[in-house]
Structures are given as C-alpha cells and as structure tokens.
Amino acid sequence: MSKITFLGAGSTVFAKNVLGDCLLTPALQGYEIALFDIDHERLQDSANMLNNIKKTSGSTSTIKAYTNRKEALSGAKFVVNAIQVGGYDPCTITDFEIPKKYGLRQTIADTVGIGGIFRNLRTIPVMLDFAADIREVCPDALFLNYTNPMAVLTNVMNTYGGVNTVGLCHSVQTCVPELFKHLEIDQTGVKAKIAGINHMSWLLEVSKDGVDLYPEIKKRAAEKQKEKHKDMVRYEMMLKFGHYITESSEHNAEYHPYFIKRNYPELVDRFNIPLDEYPRRCIDQISRWKQMREDLVNDANLTHVRSHEYASYIFEAIETDVPFKIGGNVMNTGLITNLPREAVVEVPCLVDRNGVTPTYVGDLPPQLAALNRTNINTQLLTIEAAITGKREHIYHAAMLDPHTSAELSIDDIIAMCDELIEAHGKWLPAYK
C-alpha cells in the first residue's frame, strides 16, 4: 500500500480539496491517506469528513489519523504540508499590531514584509523538524509545500532539510482565467508562459493563434482603472512595468514601495487597497467555522468534485507516467538566468514517472528581474537569520524589504524587530 501523508490536516477545508481529489483519482485508489495535526479535535474532524467522501465516492483508500508525526510519515511516498505555526491568535495579531504602532500597515503579511519575515522565523524550525523525520522514515518522499511564505520554506527544505521539495501555489493556474474573465476576453485557445518567483511571477507571454494579446489586455486594463475594482495594483504594475503579476493586488500592494505610504494616504483609496485584510479573513473564517463544521464533518452524504489543486494531478502523473504540466516552486539551478541561483523560482515544470522536472526560462525582462530581486533579498536574509540564529540578519531582512524600508527609518526598523522578537516569545528560537 502506498501512502500520502498530510501535515496540518486540521486545515479541514483545504484537506477536503487536496485529499478529496486524491480519493477521486483512479491511480491513487488503495492508498493510505495519513493525517497528522497537533490539534487533535480538528484532526478527527478532517478524518470524519474524508471518511464521508470515501463512502460517497466509493474510494478504496484508507483514512487514518495519527497523533505521532513520525508514525504518520513512516513509509510515505508523498507528503503534503499545510501547517500554520502560531495561527491567528497570537502570532498573526502580533505580526500586524506591532508594526502598526510604528506606522507600518500591511494587507496579508504572509510572504515578505515584516509579517512574512516573522512567519518564516517561527515556521522554519518546525519545517526542519519535519525534514529530520522525513530523512529517517521516508527519505525518498516527494514533499509538496503549500505553506506560506512559499519561497523561503521551499528553499529551506531543499537546501537545509535535505528533502525533495516542490512548492505549490494557486496563483499560477488562476492567473489567466481570472484576468480574462475580468477583462471580458475569451480565453479559449490562449497560450501563456508564466515565470518569476512565488506571488510575483509574470505573465511573460500571452497569445492566441500567434497574435500577441497584451496590447488588447493593456487597453482594456487602462479603461478598467478609471473606476474602482479589486485588481488595481496589478493593473498599475502591468501598465508601468509591462507584464501582469500572478498574485492578487492585496498581496502585491505590500511587496513594493509604491502603494501603502503614510505620506500619501490617498494611494490606499486610489488603488482600493484593503489594509488589515488577512486578520479580517481570519475573523470571518473563525466565525463561520461552526456552520462549516456541520456541513463538512457531520454530513454523511458529503460529496466532492475534483478541484484545480495540483497535488492529486502530480501524484497521478508520477503513478501513471502520463505527463502533466504545473507551475512549481523549485531551486533556481540556472532556470531563470538573471535571478540568484540560491533563490527559489516559480517556473513551468513537467511531471511524470521521473518526478517533477523544471523547465529552462532564461532571462526575465530586466525590469521584472529587478522587481523579483528586491523580494529575493529579504527572502535570503531571512533564511540566513533562521539558520545562523543571528539577530542582525533579521534586521538586514527587514531593512532590505521594499515596503518596510520605504516607510521606516533604520532605527525604527531595528526597534520594531526587537519588539516583535520579544512579543513572539516561545514561538521563536533564541536569537543572539
């Protein structure tokens, strides 16, 4: 019996998508679906939910919940990671409220920026513990990372964890469909090429029947900018830098120094930027969980339709040797030639029995590579801080972050980092 292990299985809705997909995939029948979470109540909720889908789908797979992580991982062929260390309370609240005292506002705070840095610092030690277990009990497993901050965690698992890791994000496969829907362009037969870094990959080429669609896209986007909508930051970046970005406008508002500025508060309104968006989402999800739990966990007739999540398609391609293309986050082994080799990049990858094989991209347009490098700087310094345990590298990561450095002085950045380290307490290792 082959085995898929899901770490962070208490993420019940996400587990439904990824593992529900696996239950519906013919090539994955007979697998053991191993669930692990430190929240045992949520763990059992997910097991109950998946057993309901197993029954209604007729799957021959086995669902098993584990409270011992190493046992859950033992013998796994595939491992899926969807943990969040520290949760909404206390860590997400801390990530938003302390920077706010210094005048630094955020939207999502899960990728770069001060929130992304500290989410990394509390998650990396846990990920390296996973890696130690994997090297011991399932060293040949393919590790699929869905946890943010995607680029840093995927990098750490590959570079320091010794685990074959590919990072997966929703933004690649939704980029063209959502853009074309908003601009009311038919996407049938459209050919696209996407590459860059996670949450800042670029729609490098987009055409249909050999005709470049970018002129029409930009024309319609310029018209859309005359009225408020949810994607104004990305459209502005495309109109000024030439290419559309994969991840949402609320994310990208805090990846650049141009949009959330204390001295220009009108920009937040002009570009329709939802400050403190992630805490709002957390509060909403918490308030809706009671009803969602009833609908997901206690519905014996629960069904599932295969989602667009990559995981089951990756497993299927490896099992059947029928190729499948994904956008994957992998080490930059010369794939994007004008980005650092020690960084993780997001590029098209081919999946078959050989595993996940990234494709060569070459140089990005220089302005796009330059924008990517501003975020890579912070990513690499965050890794340096986590691996060396040196507090100074936390400061370096924050001082090099585009949004943070555009808003705060060096002294304020250092003071803010010190306060965040103190507030995180046991959620962080000691930094010297």
Spatial distance between the Cα atoms of 82 and 310, rounded to a whole number of angstroms: 14
User: Angle, nearest 10°, between helix axes 40-57 and 12-23?
Assistant: 30
Q: DSSP labels for 6-34?
A: EETTT-HHHHHHHHHHHHT-GGGTT-EEE
DSSP for residue 333: S
Residue 277 in this model has a pLDDT that exceeds 90: yes
Sorted by where each starts, the structural domains of the chain and their CATH numbers stand as 3-86+108-167 (3.40.50.720)
Instruction: Annotate 29-67 with b (16+ C-beta within 10 A) or e (fewer).
Output: eebbbbbbbeeeebbbbbbbbbbbbbeebebebebbbbe
- What is the rounded distance in angstroms from the CA atom of residue 335 to the CA atom of residue 325? 16
State residue 211 phi and psi, 5-degree precision: -100, 125
Give me the phi and psi of 74, to 5 degrees please.
-55, 120
144 CB neighbour count, 10 Å cutoff:
25
CA 79, CA 311: separation in Å to the nearest integer? Answer: 10
- pLDDT, tens digit (0-9, with 9 covering 90-100), for 380-398: 999 999 999 999 999 999 9
User: For the segment 26-68, what is each residue's pLDDT rounded down to a tens digit?
Assistant: 999 999 999 999 999 999 999 999 999 999 999 999 999 999 9
Say how far apart CA 361 and CA 333 lie, in whole Å: 11
Give me the pLDDT at residue 18, please.
Answer: 98
pLDDT digits (tens, 9 = 90+) for 281-308: 999 999 999 899 999 999 999 999 999 9
Q: Which residue, 380, 385, 324, 331, is CA-closest to 355? A: 324
User: Are the beta carbons of 288 and 272 closer than 8 angstroms?
Assistant: no
In degrees, rounded to 5, the angle at the alpha carbon of residue 220 between the alpha carbons of residues 214 and 221 is 85
- Phi and psi at 30, nearest 5°, equal 85, -5
Work out the average pLDDT over 239-258: 98
Dump pLDDT digits (tens) for 319-337.
Answer: 999 999 999 999 999 999 9
Distance CA 281, CA 107 (A): 11
Contacts with 58 (C-beta within 8 Å, 6 or more apart), sequence order: none
Specify the DSSP class assigned to residue 304: -
Residue 131: predicted pLDDT: 98
The verdict on whether 170 is a catalytic residue reads yes
Look at residue 1 and tell me whether its pLDDT is greater than 90.
no
Choose, from 170, 182, 243, 403, the residue flagged as catalytic.
Answer: 170
Mean pLDDT score, 73-88: 98
Q: How large is the average pLDDT for residues 236-251? A: 98
E strand map for 168-303: 191-197, 200-208, 211-212
Tell me: the pLDDT tens digits for 160-170? 999 999 999 99
